[in-house]
Amino acid sequence: MITTVTLNVSVDKAYKIKGSNESGKVMRVLECNNTAGGKGLNVSRVISLCKEDILATGFVGGHCGALAEELLEKDNISSQFIHVKSETRNCINILDENNISTEFLESGAPISEEEVNTFIKEFDDIIDKSNIITISGSVPKGVPSNIYATLIEMIKLKNKKVILDASGELLQEGIKALPTMIKPNSEEMESLLGVSINNEEEVIESAVKLHENGIEIVVVSLGKDGALLVCKDGVYHGRPPKIEVVNTVGCGDSMVAAFAVGLERGYSSIECLKYAISISAANALTFSTGSFKEEDADRIFKDITIEKIR
């Protein structure tokens, strides 16, 4: 089973509007799509679509928290959340007719120290039921910045694999515990390594450095140009075919989900890369966040090219 950790759950509202998003004007929503969000729950949804057993955990609270659980249940995703006193946040994504996305992300209401400790205690039992664990996104106020390092250390003590997809101090602290895989972008690698990255060669050098520092798998998403993979077998660049993008929100989460599925199925790192690019690109063809059509992924998979760089 794969478990996803989402400490900062949200109810995500995707608004489709006519024309462009203009400040100071009344904008009529043509279509609204509600999903249980937070990066880890986007990962959960994609894993479920890949037909793997999934358990979602984290914090939820209040009416929005209950709605998030209800939305997950409709998506046939099992969950084991810690219920907290504060209200789960909302996040809004406005998509105009030119497919330009504008996001409004609430930070998340505070969580108490007691609630954090309750989660850590229950998480220890959850690890026993899991083969692969993903940890994604931000945390609410009140959660310590080293929380991901704590969770990763717990996971590794039980010899389970863990993927970390975070940013800022959470990532800086988290990689100290050496997760199995990380998915940083160029800006995050600059911060982690204290370097300036200005071209593809420097992206490669930085990813290699993180791998040499003890991260088994380093994946760098390159948007429409695919993704870079650094692992014990070498450095690889996977490229998807050209597609007509509808919505890129959730593509990174889809890539994390697909890598988790690949690891669960025993795929090689290169097979994981190709599979992940196909799922991520297929996500970009849908309006919904963290969603894809199997036929799209299958078609894209056939046209992906993998090049060994080193």
| Separation CA 240–CA 35 (nearest Å) | 27
Q: Give 48's pLDDT tier (boundaries 50, 70, 90).
A: very high
**For the chain, how many helices (H) and strands (E)?**
10, 15
pLDDT (tens digit per residue) in 130-155: 999 999 999 999 999 999 999 999 99
Residue 300 has pLDDT above 90, yes or no: yes
Q: For the segment 243-284, what is each residue's pLDDT rounded down to a tens digit?
A: 988 878 789 999 999 999 999 999 999 999 999 999 999 999
How many domains in the chain?
1
Write out pLDDT tens, residues 58-71.
Answer: 999 999 999 999 99
pLDDT digits (tens, 9 = 90+) for 7-47: 999 999 888 888 888 777 788 888 888 889 999 999 999 99
Class of residue 128 by CB neighbours under 10 A (exposed 0-12, middle 13-18, buried 19+):
exposed
Overall average pLDDT of the 87-102 stretch: 88
Sequence-distant (≥ 6) Cβ neighbours of residue 18 within 8 angstroms: 28, 30, 96, 97
Q: Between 78 and 29, whose confidence is greater?
A: 78
Looking at residue 249, its pLDDT comes to 79
**pLDDT (mean) for 190-207:** 92
Structural domain containing residue 107: 2-22+29-308
Tell me which residue has tokens 């994604």: 136
Percent of the chain with pLDDT over 90: 78
**What Cα–Cα distance (Å) separates residue 62 from each residue in 55, 96, 240?**
21, 31, 41
Closest CA to 44 of 95, 2, 100: 2
Q: What is the pLDDT of residue 101?
A: 82
Structure tokens at 216: 């088994």
Query: Is a pLDDT exceeding 80 seen at residue 289?
Result: no
Nearby residues of 78 by Cβ (< 8 Å), 6 or more positions away = 53, 54, 55, 56
The domain that contains 74 carries what CATH number? 3.40.1190.20
CA 206 remoteness from chain centre: 21
